[in-house]
Amino acid sequence: MRAHKVWFLALTPALLAACGETQQPALTPSYQPSASVHDFMYWMLEPAADVLWDSAGYIITEAGEQDLQPTTQEGWDHVRNSATVVAEAGNVLMMPGYRVDEQAWLEYAGGMISAGIAAREAAVAKDADALFTAGGHLYNACRACHNRYMPEPAFRVE
Ligand code: HEC
């Protein structure tokens, strides 16, 4: 009880000051892109996208057809987490320092955000078909941007 009261007293002047202020200075976020676009692709985006693509569909092995969808809660959680990285990577690509100042770039990055969110919803619902569809949309967003902006369009996603 006493601890609460002390906090309240300590915070009140700051709150009053914040409310009384009419002109707030504009915030200036200090973006610091940590990598080149190339390294960002290899180290952040592709590993996360690969988790999505490796978790949907079927492959043929010597033992027969193998369903790639996760079989454990942990597996689905891993897909959910990677889908979040993919979606946020779309935001990163719109950041000053990474982005190209053209509408098309922003649209391709936006397509990646939508596909990432759809993949995450599929992972949360453990819906293998929806994950497969989202993976297709994601692939299209990667390709569209590469076709236009990669210096040498030699897109490689195995
Ligand atoms: C908004 C545009 C954009 C999107 C979306 C995008 N990329 Fe890229 N990507 C680039 C550009 C530009 C380069 C070339 C960077 C360089 O070499 O300077 C690149 C390069 C790459 C490379 C390196 C290729 C090489 O041969 O050197 C990989 C791998 C890659 N991207 C993977 C992906 C994957 C996977 C996705 C989708 C999940 C994706 N990218 C989505 C713009 C994009």
What is the model's pLDDT at position 16? 52
The CA 155 to ligand 1 mean position distance, Å, reads 8
123-138 per-position pLDDT tens digit? 999 999 999 999 999 9
Q: Is pLDDT above 60 for 20?
A: no
57-103 per-position pLDDT tens digit? 999 988 899 999 999 999 999 999 999 999 999 999 999 999 999 99
Ligand 1 pocket at CB < 6 A: 37-38, 41-42, 45-46, 49, 93, 105, 108-109, 112, 138, 141-142, 145-146, 149-151, 154, 156-157
Find out whether 85 and 115 touch, Cβ atoms under 8 Å.
no
What is the model's pLDDT at position 23? 79
User: Alpha carbon of 53 to those of 57, 100, 120: distances in Å?
Assistant: 8, 27, 13
| Residue nearest atom 37 of ligand 1, based on CA coordinates | 142
Q: Is the dihedral of CA 111, 97, 80, 147 positive or negative?
A: positive
What is the model's pLDDT at position 158? 43
More confident residue, 153 or 141: 141
More confident residue, 72 or 154: 72
106-118 per-position pLDDT tens digit? 999 999 999 999 9
| Residue nearest atom 36 of ligand 1, based on CA coordinates | 142
